[in-house]
Amino acid sequence: MQVRPDCPFCHPVYDADQRIVFETETCWFLQHEKAQDVLEGSGVIVPKQHRSSPFELTQTEWQETQELLELAKLLLDQLAPGGYTLGWNVGEASNQSIGHSHLHVIPRFNDEPYAGKGLRHWLKKPENRRPGQSGDAR
């Protein structure tokens, strides 16, 4: 199995604040204690083998990602969220800070300050327009 010694997702047990909630043969659903303060219930689904992006996942890893997503939802539904935000950051421009593919699973609540603002909310702002892109007044 390809793992990297410095990768926190290749070795989740090395971080005392990170716990394996669910596990399949090829993937984990992990929750990190430090994220629970603001993003209650949030976690990530990661392949056990080091994959830089979801574009590298095997068919089995895709299937087991779906299985873990279903298990995570059953668990997180107990918190009674009003919805979920799911997403991958792929590459530096997308703010991927850990170079190991991971699907964010974030329960969203109706009483949170950013309720109703989804994954693309900030990306759709006019100030995010690229220089020279249609509609740019510069």
Which residues sit opposite 20 in a β-bridge? 30
Please check whether residue 95 lies inside any domain of the structure.
yes
**Confidence label for 4 from pLDDT (cuts 50, 70 and 90):** confident
How many domains, in total, are found in the chain?
A: 1
Please check whether residue 135 lies inside any domain of the structure.
no
Please check whether residue 4 lies inside any domain of the structure.
no
DSSP classification of residue 75: H
Which residues touch 86 (CB under 8 Å, ≥6 apart)? 69, 103, 104, 105, 106, 119
- Report the range of poorest mean pLDDT among 51-60, 79-88, 91-100, 114-123: 114-123
CATH of the domain at 17: 3.30.428.10
Please check whether residue 88 lies inside any domain of the structure.
yes
Coil vs helix vs strand at 128: helix
Please check whether residue 41 lies inside any domain of the structure.
yes
Residue with token string 């969220």: 81
Please check whether residue 137 lies inside any domain of the structure.
no
Rg from Cα positions in the chain: 17
- Position 1 scores a pLDDT of 59
- Report the range of poorest mean pLDDT among 77-81, 90-94, 112-116, 129-133: 129-133
User: Once rounded to an integer, what is the mean pLDDT over residues 16-44?
Assistant: 97
pTM (2 d.p.): 0.90
Please check whether residue 101 lies inside any domain of the structure.
yes
Please check whether residue 64 lies inside any domain of the structure.
yes
Q: Which domain holds residue 18?
A: 12-128
User: Once rounded to an integer, what is the mean pLDDT over residues 52-66?
Assistant: 97
- Position 38 scores a pLDDT of 94
